[in-house]
């Protein structure tokens, strides 16, 4: 059944996993607003694809690391469509550098783009969700972020993703009385186009399932968390990793 009155806001929705989620929701009749920061051409392509899938697309440039801009983008969507039923945090850039070679700017960037926007956007979107007594918030962590292991090459990114899990659980506890669920998805190695081909080469043998995941695997988890079947799932962390990182 098409959710013709449902509205989603997706950060990082112009490409990769975010785009896959946007197109899946569009096929169900959702109106989909999505943020992008640098992917202008991809955003235009995704907006067109959303329309072709039968949904309404609204691409919005936004640097969600800026608290004022993050709050404003929520207001833009609510002004355009009157509501936000699902807030999906897909933005999560990373860089690979040894911790001892990391710069203060690079360190801060990982938190500014992976952790802090979840606080800014969720706080802003929660107001309307609370008023309607319904809403879904989905965050993205990483498959082994709950293991608390050393990560010499992606240290700040890893710490930020561990923080995402704590923030997710905290939001879930605070917002549950208002009919809102907040859950995390933690992908492992997904062929989403974000990782260099060389980085994925040879990884499959380290994954118990024996293969790299696809965007559709993550999309399926999002579809479940947004469904009525998941109405009592709150504060969960769903691993999409083929058994890697557990």
Q: How far is CA 56 from CA 23, 49, 73, 194, in A?
A: 10, 10, 17, 25
Radius of gyration of the chain (CA): 17
Burial class (CB in 10 A: 0-12, 13-18, 19+), 201: exposed
CB-CB contact of 113 with 65 (8 Å) = yes
- Confirm whether 158 is a catalytic residue: yes
- Given the residues 94, 158, 211, 232, the one annotated as active site: 158
CB-CB contact of 81 with 33 (8 Å) = yes
Q: Spell out the residues 6+ positions from residue 4 whose beta carbon is closer than 8 angstroms to its own.
A: 29
Rounded Cα gap, residues 104 and 110, in angstroms: 10
Q: Which residues are catalytic?
A: 158
């Amino acid at each position: 059944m098409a959710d013709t009155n449902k509205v989603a806001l997706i950060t990082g929705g112009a490409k990769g996993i975010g785009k896959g989620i946007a197109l899946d929701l569009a096929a169900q009749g959702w109106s989909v607003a999505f943020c992008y920061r640098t992917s202008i051409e991809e955003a235009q392509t995704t907006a067109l694809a959303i329309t072709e899938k039968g949904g309404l697309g609204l691409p919005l440039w936004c640097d969600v690391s800026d608290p004022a801009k993050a709050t404003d983008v929520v207001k833009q969507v609510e002004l355009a469509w009157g509501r936000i039923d699902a807030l999906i945090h897909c933005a999560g850039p990373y860089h690979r550098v040894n911790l001892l070679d990391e710069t203060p700017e690079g360190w801060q960037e990982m938190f500014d783009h992976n952790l802090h926007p979840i606080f800014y956007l969720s706080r802003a979107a929660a107001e309307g969700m609370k008023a309607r007594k319904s809403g879904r918030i989905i965050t993205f962590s990483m498959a082994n972020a709950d293991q608390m292991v050393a990560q010499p090459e992606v240290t700040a990114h890893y710490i930020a993703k561990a923080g995402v899990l704590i923030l997710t659980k905290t939001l879930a506890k605070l917002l549950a009385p208002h009919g809102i669920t907040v859950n995390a998805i933690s992908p492992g190695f997904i062929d989403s186009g974000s990782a260099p081909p060389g980085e994925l080469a040879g990884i499959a043998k380290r994954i118990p399932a024996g293969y790299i995941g696809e965007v559709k695997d993550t999309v399926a988890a999002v579809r479940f968390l947004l469904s009525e079947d998941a109405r009592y799932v709150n504060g969960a962390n769903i691993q999409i990793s083929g058994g890697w990182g557990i």
